[in-house]
């Protein structure tokens, strides 16, 4: 058998092993993402204080619940762990969660508020996992208009 044929068989064999591994191990896990945000909230969604706080929507694209314990949100690339989700924060399969970006810094499960507000003049938003790796980022978003959300 030629060297080229042996190389092709070896490539097919290794590829088959990798495919089997991903199928049996559950494949590559998708991380939660920043799916939408509103930086200039004047009259849309209100928080538990009946205030129109800025907000960030996190979406879980997986078919299983995601544990957001240790995940973090930030508007500062130099400080990606500016606000950390509290222990026990769960995101349902294919679900969404709203985190108010009000500067109120609240950690109660039904009233999560970051310790920062979203800049209406433009900026960045970062979601990092518990290992401090950036898993979702909206870079250099433009100036925001009143009551118009921005997202993917």
Ranges of each domain in the chain: 1-29, 33-151
Residue found by looking up tokens 């209406």 in the block:
120
Tell me which H or E stretch contains 139: strand 134-141
pLDDT average, residue stretch 18-33: 59
Whether residue 134 has pLDDT greater than 50: yes
The DSSP result for 5-54, as a single string, is HHHHHHHHHHHHHHHHHHHHTT-PPPPPEEEEEESS-SSSS--TTS---E
CA 83 to chain centre: 13
Spatial distance between the Cα atoms of 125 and 37, rounded to a whole number of angstroms: 9
Phi-psi region of 95 (alpha: psi -120 to 50; beta: other; left: phi over 0): beta
Least confident of 19-28, 37-46, 102-111, 129-138: 19-28
Name the band, by pLDDT with cuts 50, 70 and 90, for residue 152. Answer: confident
Under 8 Å CB-to-CB from 129, ≥6 apart: which residues?
31, 70, 71, 135
Q: What is the pLDDT of residues 30-81, one digit of tens each?
A: 899 999 999 999 998 999 999 999 999 999 999 999 999 999 999 999 999 9
Instruction: Answer yes or no: is pLDDT of 149 > 50.
Output: yes
Confidence (pLDDT) at 71: 98
C-alpha 128/C-alpha 136 separation (Å) is 7
Computed over every residue of the chain, the mean pLDDT equals 87
Q: Determine the average pLDDT of the residues in 11-39.
A: 64
For the domain covering 33-151, report its CATH number. Answer: 2.60.40.1260
Q: Rounded to 10 degrees, what is the CA torsion of 122, 85, 147, 143?
A: 0
Is the pLDDT score of 4 beyond 50? no
pLDDT score, position 138: 96
pTM of the model: 0.80
């Amino acid at each position: 058998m030629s060297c080229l044929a042996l190389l092709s068989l070896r490539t097919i064999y290794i590829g088959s092993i990798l495919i089997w591994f991903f199928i049996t191990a559950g494949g590559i896990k998708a991380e939660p993402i920043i799916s939408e945000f509103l930086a200039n909230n004047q009259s849309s969604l209100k928080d538990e204080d009946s205030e129109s706080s800025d907000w960030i929507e996190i979406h879980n694209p997986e078919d299983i619940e995601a544990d957001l314990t240790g995940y973090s949100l930030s508007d500062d690339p130099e400080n990606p762990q500016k606000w950390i989700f509290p222990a026990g924060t769960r995101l349902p399969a294919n679900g969404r969660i709203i985190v108010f970006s009000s500067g109120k810094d609240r950690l109660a499960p039904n009233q999560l508020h970051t310790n920062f507000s979203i800049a209406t003049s433009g900026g960045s938003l970062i979601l990092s996992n518990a290992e401090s790796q950036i898993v979702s980022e909206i870079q250099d978003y433009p100036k925001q208009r009143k009551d118009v959300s921005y997202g993917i």
